[in-house]
Amino acid sequence: MINFGMPSLIETSTLDECAKLCAKFGLDFIELNMNLPQYQLDKIEVAYFKSIADKYGIYYTIHLDENLNVSDFNPYVAKAYIKTVADTIEIAKQLGIKVLNMHMAKGVYFTLPDRKVLLFSEYKEQYIDSIVNFRNMCEKIIGNADIMICIENCDGYEDFQQEAIEVLLESKVFALTFDVGHNHTICGTDEEFIMKHKDRLHHIHLHDAKGRKNHLTLGTGEMDIQKYLVLAKEQNCRVVLETKTIDGLRQSVEWLKGFQK
């Protein structure tokens, strides 16, 4: 049985509104988006968040800040991001959250006359060292807690990012998120790498897509949604219905109900 969830929608300004909608649509969880001001660490009051989850019979996952860059060459910046992850893990323990979703930063690039140079690629040894240190820190803080940090694909992994993810996957506390819509809009570039590590797939962001258009309501694009629902069931993944509006979410839930009959 797949657990389906919803993202934090910009149209729901409070946790109560979001949770009420989640329950109304018969979904299992909310992915709290830490890019939003109401889901910053200093705003997450554990007792209140627990009470809302109990009230509506739902649970949470967390989408870490998309700006997160634990490998920034500025040690003060990197330290702030690393502390953010460490503190989020502690919050996750208190709230019983089992999934933290994370993007891999590509970092800064220099544009030369004939090419673009990504600095993490140019200084790869230093970059990979930072990834190893980050992995070890997360392992230590998570300990025996049932928490996975799932790395999400976005706009095509660079070689150095793939190498870094494989370093992270050496640890049992790291896994993969497959954003199937993002993958579609870049002509399936990330799918081979993700399927190579299919046994570590733990979380799916599901939405339709058409051409370069992303986050479409299920059934309104050109994707083979059934293929990814089968994959989710095979790998026992949670699935976020990652449309960006209430109406899009409602239509996706209805489409899913009709599809599964």
Residues 147, 173 contacting (CB under 8 angstroms): yes
Confidence (pLDDT) at 70: 98
Residues 151, 102 contacting (CB under 8 angstroms): yes
Question: What would the pLDDT profile of 146-184 be if each residue is shown by its tens digit?
Answer: 999 999 999 999 999 999 999 999 999 999 999 999 999
- pLDDT tier for residue 259 given thresholds of 50, 70 and 90: low
Confidence (pLDDT) at 260: 58
Residues 65, 36 contacting (CB under 8 angstroms): no
Instruction: Report helix, strand or coil for 79.
Output: helix
Question: What would the pLDDT profile of 63-103 be if each residue is shown by its tens digit?
Answer: 999 999 999 999 999 999 999 999 999 999 999 999 999 99
Residue bearing the bigger pLDDT, 1 or 254: 254
CB atoms near residue 226 (< 10 Å): 10
Residues 131, 71 contacting (CB under 8 angstroms): yes
Question: What would the pLDDT profile of 225-249 be if each residue is shown by its tens digit?
Answer: 999 999 999 999 999 999 999 999 9
Confidence (pLDDT) at 140: 98
- pLDDT tier for residue 261 given thresholds of 50, 70 and 90: very low
